[in-house]
Each structure stands twice: as C-alpha cells, then as structure tokens.
Chain A
Amino acid sequence: AQKVTQAQTEISVVEKEDVTLDCVYETRDTTYYLFWYKQPPSGELVFLIRRNSFDEQNEISGRYSWNFQKSTSSFNFTITASQVVDSAVYFCALSEAGGYQKVTFGIGTKLQVIP
C-alpha cells in the first residue's frame, strides 16, 4: 500500500521568506511517480511537478525547487522569496507504476504568505 505524509498542516511565512514543504512517502514499488499540486482558494488542482523514481535529479523552476531523496523517501518542495500569491494548499502525491494512475495524495500543507 502506498502512503504520503505531509507532517506540516499549516505554515505561515512573511512575504519574501523562503519556505520548505515536507513530504515523505511509502511504497513497495521500485518504479513510482511523485507529484506536487497546488490548490488555491478557488479550489482547482494545479499540477506543479512530476518526478520519476529513477530520476533523483533535483529540479528548479523559477522560485520553486524540489529535492528528491530516495534514501529518506522524501520529496520536499521549496519556495524561494515567497509571495502572497503562493498562499494555497499544497499536496504531495504518489502513484505506482502498475495501476491506472491511482494517485495517493497527502493531507496537504496550507501555506499562508503574509504581506
């Protein structure tokens, strides 16, 4: 069975601070995929990134960066120089290779960026 744990339920930061959202996962598969989604107050799910289990390269996209460490089963997400528009709930998620994209989501981390 697969599981995603986001230990931080809510985080508040002041604008321009950096913030890291933690994600720890469990899976028995050797091939799996990790995701981060953003859910703004309007409610839609916005895809941010997908990572394959066999690619441990970290990734940077503008102010966003992701640190994938297979050894600790973690896939952390950092926002640099946070902005008010980053305020949202962020979900880490996992899907295993065999299924029909049955994605398991974490409980989400609510990020509030204070101006």
Chain B
Amino acid sequence: EPEVTQTPSHQVTQMGQEVILRCVPISNHLYFYWYRQILGQKVEFLVSFYNNEISEKSEIFDDQFSVERPDGSNFTLKIRSTKLEDSAMYFCASSEGRSSYNSPLHFGNGTRLTVT
C-alpha cells in the first residue's frame, strides 16, 4: 500500500537555525497537510496545501513557517529561526480529495524535531 514518507525521522537543531522537514506524499494525491504534536499533547492542524498554494492555515502557522512543493514529489515545511517551543513531532499527510467522506488522510510516520 502506498505510504507518505517523511525524512528525517529525527532532526536536532539549534535555536535560531532554519530547518526544512521533508515529505513525499502518495503519488496521486492532490491535497497536502502538516500537523504538529508537542510531546504529550494533542495533534494540531498547521496547514493544508492544494494547487500550489495554502488553502487553510491555523493560528499556529505564522510567518515563521512556510510550505512548498518544490517539485512533483516533495512537500516541505520550513521553519525559520526555530524556537525551543517548536520542538514537536511534525506529521505530514496527504489525501486524494478534499473531503473526508471519500478521501481520508494518510499520515506519514512523523519527524521529531528537537530544538536545543
């Protein structure tokens, strides 16, 4: 079964550094998402992306964050000038369609980001 692939599985970075988290969505999927889970807390929506633009974002997704689909396969989340509170597990997801009715989210295994 096709999978969403995320790399790296664990990233350690120093406060103030930029970091890029990478995801390869399922190949025929058109909608892409990033979610975040701070350790021990719930999973939170960050952003959805369709047709090369952001379709929806949460209040967490401020100017520090950006997303990009640089080529036909990758989907990236960039965090500029990381802060300690950005330490979390970041999940990429993709779906074939917009609606949960016929097109459920497929999550990757996550990238654990540690900011020191």
A43 touches B41 (CB 8 A): no
Asked whether any CB of chain B lies closer than 8 Å to the CB of A84, the reply is no
Asked whether any CB of chain B lies closer than 8 Å to the CB of A14, the reply is no
Asked whether any CB of chain A lies closer than 8 Å to the CB of B44, the reply is yes
Asked whether any CB of chain A lies closer than 8 Å to the CB of B66, the reply is no
- Prevailing SS type, chain A contact patch: loop
> Considering only CB atoms and an 8 Å cut-off, how many residues of chain A contact the other chain?
24
User: Given contacts A33-B101, A47-B107, are A101 and B33 in contact (CB under 8 A)?
Assistant: yes
| Alpha-carbon separation in the docked complex, A105 to B42 (Å) | 6
User: Given contacts A43-B109, A43-B112, A100-B48, are A50 and B100 in contact (CB under 8 A)?
Assistant: yes
- Closest Cβ of chain A to B86, distance in Å, is 17
B44 touches A44 (CB 8 A): no
| Alpha-carbon separation in the docked complex, A42 to B10 (Å) | 12
User: What would be 29 A-B contacts, judged by CB atoms less than 8 Å apart?
Assistant: A33-B100, A37-B43, A42-B109, A43-B109, A43-B110, A44-B107, A44-B108, A44-B109, A44-B110, A45-B110, A47-B107, A50-B100, A91-B42, A91-B43, A93-B43, A97-B99, A97-B101, A100-B31, A100-B55, A100-B56, A101-B98, A101-B99, A102-B45, A102-B56, A103-B35, A103-B45, A104-B45, A106-B42, A107-B42
